[in-house]
Amino acid sequence: MDPFMQAALGEARLGLAEGGIPIGSVIVHDGRIIGRGHNRRVQQGSAIRHGEMDAFENAGRQPARVYREAVLYTTLSPCAMCSGAILLYGIPRVVIGENRTFLGEEALLRERGVQLDVLQDAECIRLMEDFIATRPELWHEDIGE
């Protein structure tokens, strides 16, 4: 597995270990991680702290050029909110661990010129399937159902 997707998966596992939702993300610029995060909605009582949003927050304030040259890795297909942030900051490429358990706004991202690489990684799929089976109420809350 790609080391950056491995880092995103590590973030997802950390979120699960903290009692949260197992979705992780990293933002990579010039071959190094500049921001990493995981879904912290439960841990922080947050309405918006998805894995990608947490990675953006942890990357901090960057020159626009940095985000326009970055790659975002996420274990799960980005929702509307996270896709909006990807578009807002001009991230040109997103590597997605899987989109079988949840299909986010991939069509919008592609329409706006974002390159998407969907891996259908077995580990990412298994992590989400197990979580959804054991915590369906929390999962549905997270995706707004």
CATH code, domain carrying 130:
3.40.140.10
Q: Is 129 a catalytic residue?
A: no
Predicted TM-score (pTM) of the model is: 0.96
pLDDT in tens, the chain (145 residues): 799 999 999 999 999 999 999 999 999 999 999 999 999 999 999 999 999 999 999 999 999 999 999 999 999 999 999 999 999 999 999 999 999 999 999 999 999 999 999 999 999 999 999 999 999 988 888 777 6
- Domain residues for the domain of 86 are 3-143
Give Cβ neighbours of residue 61 (< 8 Å, ≥ 6 apart). Answer: none
The number of folded domains in the chain is: 1
Q: Residue 22: which region, alpha, beta or left (left: phi > 0; alpha: psi -120 to 50)?
A: beta
| CA distances (Å), origin 121, targets 50, 109, 113 | 20, 20, 23
The 3-state secondary structure of the chain, one letter per residue? CCHHHHHHHHHHHHHHHCCCCCCEEEEEECCEEEEEEECCHHHHCCCCCCHHHHHHHHHCCCCHHHHHCCEEEECCCCCHHHHHHHHHCCCCEEEECCCCCCCCCHHHHHHCCCEEEECCCHHHHHHHHHHHHHCHHHHHHHCCC
Q: Could you say which of 11, 52, 98, 105 is catalytic? A: 52
Beta bridge partners of 33: 28
Residue 121 pLDDT = 98
CB 10 within 8 A of CB 113: no
